[in-house]
Every structure is written in C-alpha cells, then in structure tokens.
Amino acid sequence: MILDINNLSKTYANGVQALKNVNLSIPQGMFGLLGPNGAGKSTLMRTIATLQEPDEGTIRLGDIDVLTQKDRVREILGYLPQEFGVYPRIGAETLLNHLAVLKGITDNRERKEVVHALLHKTNLYDHRKKNLGGYSGGMKQRFGIAQALLANPQLIIVDEPTAGLDPAERNRFLNLLSDLGENTVVILSTHIVEDVKELCTNMAVINEGEVLLSGTPTDALKNIKGKIWRRQVTKDELTQYESTLNVISKKRSAGKPFIHVMSDSKPDSGFTAVTPDLEDVYFSELFGKKEKVA
C-alpha cells in the first residue's frame, strides 16, 4: 500500500500558507518527515489523518480517497498527535480498553487479548493499573503508540514523538517504532535528525510548506558527497564566512566553534573535507541553497 499526496495546498484564515503544492509518494515502511518547527509538518499530518481539509490537492491510500472517504481511513489509521492528552486519574488498561471499544473491538475476550498484547508490546503491562497522570513523558508516549495500534492499522502517523524525552525513554520509543514499519506505512514527523537517521528508509525535508527533498537517506547523502567542508572559526571569521559562503551549520566540538560549509570546491586552505551525515543533508536543504557573493 502506498500513500500518494498530489498538489496539496493549505492557507489559513490569517494568511499563513502552511502547505504549498506538496507532492509525496510514501511506501510501506518508516518514512521520516523532517522540518523545523512551523514548517508545515503538523498541518500535513492532520490533513492525512482527516482532521482538516486542504484548499486543493488529493491524497490516496491504496484505493482509498483520503479526503472523501474519511470513515474508511479512520478504520485503518493509528495516530499519535504532537499534543496527546490523557485522563490523569484513569489507569492505562482501563482507558485502552475504552478506546478499543470505540475502535469497534466489541468482543470482550478479543478486546482483553488485544489490550494486554499492546500493553506488553509497549512495556507498560506491569504499570497497567497505574493512573496515567503518574506516567513519565516516555510512558505516556508509549501509551500513545498503544492506542494508535488498536485495530491493527495500515497507516500510522506519529507527530514529534520524541520531543522532550530523556535519552533512555527516547531509545525505548525508537525501538518500539522500528518494529512497526514492516507491513505498515509509518510516517514519523520530527525536527530531530537522529530519529530519521536511526529509523527511516525513506524521507523528505519540508520547510515553509514546501517539500525541498524526498527520497532515501542514502541517495540524499550521495548528492552532497564531497561538498561539505569543516573549519574552526572565530566570531569575526564566522561573520565573514556567513556573508560569502554557504554556511549550513554552526556547532561546537570539544568547546571549540566549527562551521560546516556546502561548496563544490574547497573554500580555502583552512577547510577540511568531511564525510556528510544526515544532519548535513537537512541543513544543506534548509540553508545551503543561497547565492553568495564574495
């Protein structure tokens, strides 16, 4: 099953154009949608999840028209939004059981088996009686995945799922996500490059409502191979280089400031070539396309 998005656009009443002629083909497996905050990721996710209408364009999931056959989409959709609220005074098992009923799992024995299986899968079974208000951020996110997996969805959308998690909880959550993409379309919307690097076989970069890049991480890395250069700089040098070169990122290593520059040739003798990583791909798409004049 493939999710096809064609010519999708959305402008809000305040004049903000959140999506601009978005075209994407998303196959089965983990698909990473990378972009900064405000790039249009959540608008796209909500539109796919049938929660809002675009101004124009089409979305098809296999033989389903997502924009006109919303009930069919919702039957096979698992959705974990960026802001996922829980009832704080209800236990995880009780709430998941209630949500399973709403998903149409009405047989008591079947529902109990599904709920317990999901609590085991998300490593929450031993905490199933605990009120959700006492869960950590990572436990709440894992509960969010549990509810998203009710009714064996064919399309799963997770929007900024690891933001705010500590490293241990992030690893648990990513390990859980990595098991989901074998027979399912899973869209991971995030601004965290490492999440996509560790999980996704296909990806896209979006900014200001436009798709800047789509394809595999491997192909994206090939496109910038030999074009990324690194140099330690002073504050004054940074200002100079930013005005004359395509500085795509600034970071510190062992307390020292370094820049990464995108260029077809070595900018000057102080730069060294580096093997690009997915973070370089991301920043080159966001910041590496500007024309510079020496």
Q: What is the pLDDT of residues 128-148, one digit of tens each?
A: 999 999 998 888 888 988 998
Total tally of structural domains belonging to the chain? 2
Residue 294 domain-assigned (yes or no): no
Taking each helix axis from N to C terminus, what angle separates 92-102 and 137-148, rounded to the nearest 10 degrees? 30
Residue 98 domain-assigned (yes or no): yes
Residue 84 domain-assigned (yes or no): yes
Range of the domain at 246: 222-287
pLDDT, tens only, 27-56: 999 999 999 988 999 999 999 999 999 999
Q: Are residues 11 and 70 in the same domain?
A: yes
Q: Are residues 76 and 206 in the same domain?
A: yes
Residue 267 domain-assigned (yes or no): yes
Residue 290 has pLDDT above 70, yes or no: no
Average pLDDT over all residues of the chain: 90
Q: Are residues 209 and 230 in the same domain?
A: no
Q: Are residues 192 and 251 in the same domain?
A: no
Residue 289: strand, helix, or coil: coil
Residue 124 domain-assigned (yes or no): yes
pLDDT value, residue 289: 61
Q: Are residues 146 and 65 in the same domain?
A: yes
DSSP letter at 91 equals: B
Q: Are residues 13 and 105 in the same domain?
A: yes
Q: Are residues 191 and 233 in the same domain?
A: no
Query: Which of 162, 195, 215 lies at the terminal end of a domain, its last residue?
Result: 215
pLDDT band at 7 (very low <50, low <70, confident <90, very high): very high
Q: CATH number of the domain at 181, please.
A: 3.40.50.300
High-pLDDT (> 70) share of the chain, %: 98
Q: Are residues 8 and 126 in the same domain?
A: yes
Q: Are residues 173 and 283 in the same domain?
A: no
The burial of 237, by beta-carbon neighbours within 10 Å (0-12 exposed, 13-18 middle, 19 or more buried), is given as: middle
Scored b (16 or more CB within 10 A) or e, 26-48 reads bebbbbbbbbeeebbbbbbbbbb
Query: Which of 182, 215, 248 lies at the terminal end of a domain, its last residue?
Result: 215
Q: Are residues 190 and 229 in the same domain?
A: no
Residue 225: strand, helix, or coil: coil
**Residues in the chain, overall count:** 294
Q: Are residues 146 and 194 in the same domain?
A: yes
Query: Which of 165, 188, 215 lies at the terminal end of a domain, its last residue?
Result: 215
Q: Are residues 82 and 147 in the same domain?
A: yes
- Kindly state the greatest CA–CA separation across the chain: 72
Residue 75 has pLDDT above 80, yes or no: yes
Residue 169 has pLDDT above 70, yes or no: yes
Residue 293 domain-assigned (yes or no): no
